[in-house]
């Protein structure tokens, strides 16, 4: 049996997303559950960065380590790809573009601004997300997935 190439992301693969320890990114509800905010999945290039758990030893601490005190939430690749309601509308609210959601392996190596991260991947739309309004819809769906799974690793400030 041959190995799956590292660039292929299986539907059952776990993805880690670092969430800074700030109430701008999440809130704790009265029942103790966390409710993530869309800011937890923001990205200036409309591609939400994640780490592939299997490429960082299934250790969420490796994802959290870049920002001290951060927490980590996990998503399942198949759940991310199943998001099927990212739609751009025209001015008359008629569907203009329907977007597919995918995950692309995008290792960071030898970048002057970031430490090497061979586990890095990006959640993106096809066609490419054209604006922040469309990307906000994707972030809202990612938040729903994160709320369902809760913390993989809580921030240091939480018990």
Q: Which two tokens stand for residue 64?
A: 């959290």
CA–CA separation, 114 vs 70, rounded Å? Answer: 17
Residue 159: per-residue pLDDT: 64
The share of the chain scoring above pLDDT 90, in percent, equals 83
* Dihedral angle of Cα 153, 79, 100, 135, to the nearest 10 degrees: -40
Q: Whole-prediction pTM value?
A: 0.91
pLDDT at residue 6 greater than cutoff 70? no
156 to each of 57, 67, 108, 148, how far by Cα in Å? 21, 11, 26, 21
Residue 69: per-residue pLDDT: 80
52 to each of 20, 29, 90, how far by Cα in Å? 18, 28, 35
Residue 2: per-residue pLDDT: 41
CA–CA separation, 151 vs 34, rounded Å? Answer: 8
pLDDT single digits (tens) 70-112? 999 999 999 999 999 999 999 999 999 999 999 999 999 999 9
Residue 1: per-residue pLDDT: 38
């Amino acid at each position: 049996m041959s190995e799956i190439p590292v660039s292929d992301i299986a539907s059952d693969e776990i993805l880690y997303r670092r969430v800074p320890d700030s109430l701008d990114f999440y809130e704790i509800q009265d029942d103790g559950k966390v409710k993530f905010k869309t800011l937890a999945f923001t990205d200036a290039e409309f591609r939400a960065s994640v780490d592939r758990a299997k490429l960082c030893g299934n250790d969420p601490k490796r994802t959290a380590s870049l920002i001290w005190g951060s927490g980590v939430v996990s998503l399942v690749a198949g759940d991310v790809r199943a998001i099927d309601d990212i739609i751009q509308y025209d001015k008359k609210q008629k569907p203009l573009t329907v977007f597919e959601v995918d995950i692309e392996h995008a290792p960071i190596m030898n970048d002057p601004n970031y430490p090497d991260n061979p586990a890095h991947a990006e959640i993106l739309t096809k066609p490419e997300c054209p604006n922040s309004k469309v990307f906000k819809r994707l972030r809202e769906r990612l938040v729903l997935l994160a709320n369902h799974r809760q913390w993989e690793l809580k921030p240091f400030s939480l018990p």
